[in-house]
Structure 1
Amino acid sequence: MHPGVRWIYREETLDRAAQLMRELDVGALPVSDQNERLCGIVTDRDIVVKCVAMGHDPADTRCAELCEGTPRWIDANADVSEALHEMESHQIKRLPVIENKKLVGMISEAEVARHLTDDQVAEFAEHVYAR
Structure 2
Amino acid sequence: MTTAADIMSQGAQCVPMNETLDRAAQLMREQNVGALPVCDENERMQGIITDRDIVVKCVAAGHDPSKVRAGDLCEGTPRWISADASAEDALAEMETHQIRRLPVVGGDKRLVGMISEADVARTLTDDQVATFVERVYATS
What TM-score do the two structures reach when normalised by structure 2? 0.91
Counterpart CA distance in 2 for 1:69 and 1:109 is: 21
Match of 1:62 in 2: 69
* Structure 1 unmatched runs, 5+: none
Higher RCO (C-alpha under 8 Å, 6+ residues apart):
2
Q: CA deviation at 1:65?
A: 1.1
The answer to whether the aligner puts 1:91 opposite 2:98 as a matched pair is: yes
Deviation at 1:118, TM superposition (A): 1.1
> Where in structure 2 are there 5+ consecutive unaligned residues?
1-7
Q: Deviations over 1:66-114 (max 9, x none)?
A: 1110000000100110000000000100000000211100000110111
For normalisation by structure 1, the TM-score amounts to 0.97
Total equivalences in the alignment = 131
User: 1:73 is matched with which residue?
Assistant: 80
Instruction: Tell me which residue corresponds to 1:47.
Output: 54
Classify the secondary structure of the residue corresponding to 1:112. Answer: helix
The aligned counterpart of 1:123 is 131
Task: Tell me the residue number matched to 2:3.
Answer: none
- Structure-1 separation of matches of 2:29 and 2:68: 18
Runs of 4+ displaced beyond 3 Å: none
